[in-house]
Chain A
Amino acid sequence: GAVVSQHPSWVICKSGTSVKIECRSLDFQATTMFWYRQFPKQSLMLMATSNEGSKATYEQGVEKDKFLINHASLTLSTLTVTSAHPEDSSFYICSARDGTAGSPLHFGNGTRLTVT
């Protein structure tokens, strides 16, 4: 089955630093990748849609200058949390799908970000 690998699985950083999270589709080409954020006891919130070779599309209320997304190849997308602050502490999850009609999204195992 389709596998999405996300790295790192957890990271602790100091306030004001930047953190990069990688998302890779291991056995399929992902024309589109998605980034979600999840706070404790809440559902997943879509942050942005990442298309290979073009700019990401951000959901309303998500700061594009704070959450930089790069989708440089059909198997890799990165999310960089710039100038992280404690309120950015969350569970970040990426997902990917191939281009087949109706194909499901496949999710990475998430990255737990803690900003101190």
Chain B
Amino acid sequence: DAKTTQPPSMDCAEGRAANLPCNHSTISGNEYVYWYRQIHSQGPQYIIHGLKNNETNEMASLIITEDRKSSTLILPHATLRDTAVYYCIVRVPFGNQFYFGTGTSLTVIP
């Protein structure tokens, strides 16, 4: 599975949009991009995933570049409860293993 690169930490003001980038330059054509977040001492929470098109759900939006080598997770109006570690993962459709990188620690500031 493709390796992902994320900034180790980011800050965001409460109420503003949080844009979390992920680089996956070696992604192959059939690999999906998944985003999860983990709040301290809890299991990871699924946020969103996509293949080629941009996706939006009640939690976030996922923007995937046309060449698919990078993506951005957007939390439109960050709240203090969005403070967490965010993980970007790429995986083939029926591939079993999800390998986690180091993720981005997002701190939402009041």
Contacts and interface: CB of A to CB of B under 8 A. Distances in A.
B49 A104 contact: yes
B34 A107 contact: no
Among B36, B98, B99, B100, which residue has the most Cβ atoms of chain A within 10 A? B98
A28 interface: no
Interface string B36-79: 10100111111001010000000000000000000000000000
User: Is chain B's binding surface mostly helix, strand, loop or mixed?
Assistant: loop
A93 B102 CA distance: 16
Contact of A34 (B32, B87, B97, B102): B97
Contacts of B110: none
A61 interface: no
Interface in A40-68: 43-46, 49
Interface residues of B, number: 23
Given A101-B93, A102-B32, A104-B34, A93 B100 contact: no
A32 B96 contact: yes
Size band of the A side of the interface? Answer: 20 to 34
Contacts of A34: 96-98
Nearest to A10: B41
A101 B98 CA distance: 14
Interface string A9-41: 000000000000000000000001010100000
Interface of B: 32, 34, 36, 38, 41-46, 49, 51, 87, 93-94, 96-103
Given A46-B98, A101-B94, A104-B49, 20 more contacts: A43-B87, A43-B100, A43-B101, A43-B103, A44-B38, A44-B100, A46-B99, A49-B96, A95-B43, A95-B98, A101-B93, A102-B49, A104-B34, A104-B46, A105-B34, A105-B98, A107-B46, A108-B43, A109-B42, A110-B41
